[in-house]
A and B are shown apart, each in its own frame.
Chain A
Amino acid sequence: EAQVTQNPRYLITVTGKKLTVTCSQNMNHEYMSWYRQDPGLGLRQIYYSMNVEVTDKGDVPEGYKVSRKEKRNFPLILESPSPNQTSLYFCASSLDRGPYNEQFFGPGTRLTVL
C-alpha cells in the first residue's frame, strides 16, 4: 500500500531534550516536506526537500532541522525543543514539485513540549 508513515504518533517531552520525528514514504517520491498545524494558523510548511541531499526552508523553519540522505526518509529534528513547538506535525510527499501533483500526507505526530 502506498503510504507516508510517521513515528512516533504521539510524543510528550521536556524543554531542551533533543528529539527526532521520522517520516518515510514507499512511493519513490522525489519531493517531501514537513508541516505543522496549529489552531487558527492552519498548516504551515517547515522544511521541504526536492531530492536526496537537497533541502530548503519553508515558512517556519526556526528551531528545526531536517536531512535527506535517502529518497524514502525525511526526518524532522528538534535539537532543543521549546513549548512553542507543541503542535501537530505532518509529513508529506509527492512525485515531484510539479503543480499538478497531489501530495500524500502522513497520519500526523502530536508533539507536546513541557
Chain B
Amino acid sequence: DAKTTQPNSMESNEEEPVHLPCNHSTISGTDYIHWYRQLPSQGPEYVIHGLTSNVNNRMASLAIAEDRKSSTLILHRATLRDAAVYYCILRRGDYKLSFGAGTTVTVRA
C-alpha cells in the first residue's frame, strides 16, 4: 500500500487558515487522496477527496501537487470545532482505508 506522511501536530489561531500537508511520494495513478478527521470521542468523519485536480467543498479545500506526490488540506477559517486529528489516506479501489497516525490540530481561541 502506498504510504502517507503527515506532521504529528499543528497549531492555529481561531479564524485563521490552516494548511495541513501530506506527502505521498509512492502514489500510483489510480490512487484517490482522501482526508478524514476525528473529533474527540467521535468516529472518523469524511472531509474531502480528490484525484488530480484541486477540490473544494463546504468543509475544506484540497490542493494536489502537479506530480501528485503531495497534497495540502486547507481549512479556510479555523474554528474551535475544527480541533481534531486529520488523516490523509490513499484509496485505490480496494476494500479498506488504512489510517496512519494523522495530524493533531489544535485551535487557539
Binding site for B on A (CB under 8 A): 4, 31, 33, 42-43, 45, 48, 50, 56, 58-59, 90, 92, 97-100, 102-108
**One of A42, A48, A99, A106 near B99 (C-beta < 8 A):** A42
Main secondary structure of the interface of B (DSSP, over half): loop
**One of B32, B43, B91, B100 near A90 (C-beta < 8 A):** B43
Question: Do B44 and A97 touch across chains, with their CB atoms under 8 A apart?
Answer: no
Please name the residue on chain B nearest to A45 by beta carbon. B96
Binding site for A on B (CB under 8 A): 30-32, 34, 36, 41-46, 49, 51, 91-102
Question: Do B45 and A43 touch across chains, with their CB atoms under 8 A apart?
Answer: no
Question: Do A43 and B97 touch across chains, with their CB atoms under 8 A apart?
Answer: yes
Q: Given the complex of chains A and B, what is the CA–CA distance between A92 and B96 in angstroms? A: 10
Question: How far is the CB of B107 from the nearest CB of chain A, in Å?
Answer: 22
Question: Do B96 and A105 touch across chains, with their CB atoms under 8 A apart?
Answer: no
What are the residues of chain B within 8 A of A103 when measuring CB–CB?
A: 36, 44, 46, 97
Question: Do B49 and A33 touch across chains, with their CB atoms under 8 A apart?
Answer: no
